[in-house]
Amino acid sequence: MNGDETNSSGPTRRSIIHSAGAIAGAGLLAGCMGQTSSEADAETKTSTQTDAPTETDTQQTTNAPDDSYTVSIDPVGDVQFESVPETWVANNGSWADMGVALGLEAPKAVWLTRRYHTQYYDAIPGLSVDKSDMVSLYQDGVSKELFYELDADVHVMDPNFLMNRFKGWTQEDVDEVVSEVAPMFGNCIYAQHYPWHEDYRYYSLYEGFEKLAQVFQRTDRYEAFVELHDEFKTNLESVVPAKGDRPAGAVLWGVGDEPEKYYPYIIGDGTGFKHFRDLGVKDALAASDVKDFHGTRAAIDLETLLEVDPEVLLLRGYESKTREAFESTVVDFLQNHETASALTAVENGDIYRAGSLYQGPITNLVLTQRTAESLYDIDEQLYDAQRVADIVAGEF
């Protein structure tokens, strides 16, 4: 059976119930323009938020006398659970990392496993995630049959992402998976550029984290991370220089190990830019005529980059490389390239990996620490890694 056929022999609806309101919420944007295949290829290569939970957010989990409970998130609305989910699927590393922070088993699948950079956990004592059996949802498209095979208890993803990120899924497909397999619960939070997301709210990293904690009934770990994160932000204040002393950086997705073409990213809202915002990074591209990749899907060349001449290059697309491997390939190429070598950032050796687009509470701490060390030449530890491990283990 192909991915567009209905599995009449699939699992019956399990004890986790998706409300009618949730399906209606997802359907609001089902008619939005789909993404072209070229855009999907580029991404495969490539609302204002606050991090404090609101009073309303903390009151959106309700418990019935029969121990069922309901959690609400845009765009799906209210989702009722008769029992706590045991197995799950995550849209990307942002949500996967939130689950790890809650002490859950890793999700059965994410959008692209190679984009879920579990090596970040090496910074946390005793913490590791084995993704050898994890499945990539995107395999030249997303098969509906795969959702039946995974047979998860909840799909932590924005249904509008499925319907608008590439051509293939319809509202009927989403409704079928929700009805026959398990509910969808999520919001596309890593960036804020998709036109189909304009009509409903975004969540910050910690707002989304709180929602997931409510789903898995582990709000105690969430609250412990909030306390840790508050202390982390206080520590950041002592190391981030005054605005006039911060270097202007350019966030770019480099194409290949010898990059002469780059996809430019303007630092904005979304979890994928949280570490840059928290570190007060000045955006060299925002002050130029270069347009954001998310709006144009266009690349720039080294000549254009030289016109901007950022003080720091923050390059995405190289998180699978160690720092040493990155320097011996990408940095070495730039230093020996006729045009690239004239860049101020290259001359001064200020070329760094920019970190993943997909950040949860743990990976954000790790990436913010790494970026602070690179940009501001600090040597102090900004968060307690052992405390992170303890919270994950439920020891707090």
CATH code for the domain in which residue 225 is found:
3.40.50.1980
- pLDDT tens-digit profile of 143-180? 999 999 999 999 999 999 999 987 889 999 999 999 99
Residues 202 and 285 in one domain: no
Provide the number of structural domains found in the chain. Answer: 2
The per-residue b/e assignment along 269-282, b for 16 or more CB within 10 angstroms, e otherwise, is bbbbbbbbebbebb
Q: Taking the CA of residue 304 as centre, how many other CA atoms within 13 Å lie in the half-sphere pointing to its CB?
A: 16
Domain presence at residue 389: no
Q: Tell me what pLDDT residue 294 has.
A: 76
194-215 mean pLDDT: 96
Return d(Cα 257, Cα 332) in angstroms, integer. Answer: 10
- pLDDT tens-digit profile of 34-82? 333 333 344 444 433 334 444 444 445 555 447 899 999 999 999 999 9
Side-by-side strand order, sheet with 77-81: 16-18, 77-81, 69-73, 62-63
Residues 203 and 257 in one domain: no
**What is the pairing mode between strands 77-81 and 16-18?**
antiparallel
- pLDDT tens-digit profile of 351-375? 999 999 999 999 999 999 999 999 9
Residues 146 and 247 in one domain: no
Q: Tell me what pLDDT residue 166 has.
A: 78
Residues 193 and 279 in one domain: no
Segments forming the whole domain that contains residue 63: 16-234
Residues 84 and 52 in one domain: yes
Return d(Cα 93, Cα 362) in angstroms, integer. Answer: 11
CB 176 within 8 A of CB 144: yes
- pLDDT tens-digit profile of 262-271? 999 999 999 9
- Residue 391 in this model has a pLDDT that exceeds 80: yes
Residues 73 and 203 in one domain: yes
Residues 199 and 252 in one domain: no
Residues 167 and 291 in one domain: no
- Residue 242 in this model has a pLDDT that exceeds 60: yes
C-alpha distance from residue 299 to each of 41, 238, 272, 291 (Å): 13, 37, 19, 9
Q: What is the pTM of this model?
A: 0.84
Paired residues of 353 in beta bridges? 315
Q: Tell me what pLDDT residue 63 has.
A: 52
Return d(Cα 388, Cα 396) in angstroms, integer. Answer: 10
- pLDDT tens-digit profile of 309-352? 999 999 999 999 999 999 999 999 999 999 999 999 999 999 99
- pLDDT tens-digit profile of 190-199? 999 889 999 9
- Residue 12 in this model has a pLDDT that exceeds 50: no
Domain boundary pick from 202, 234, 266: 234
Return d(Cα 386, Cα 8) in angstroms, integer. Answer: 49
Q: Quick check: helix, strand or coil at residue 368?
A: helix
Residues 50 and 144 in one domain: yes
Residues 286 and 228 in one domain: no
Residues 211 and 245 in one domain: no
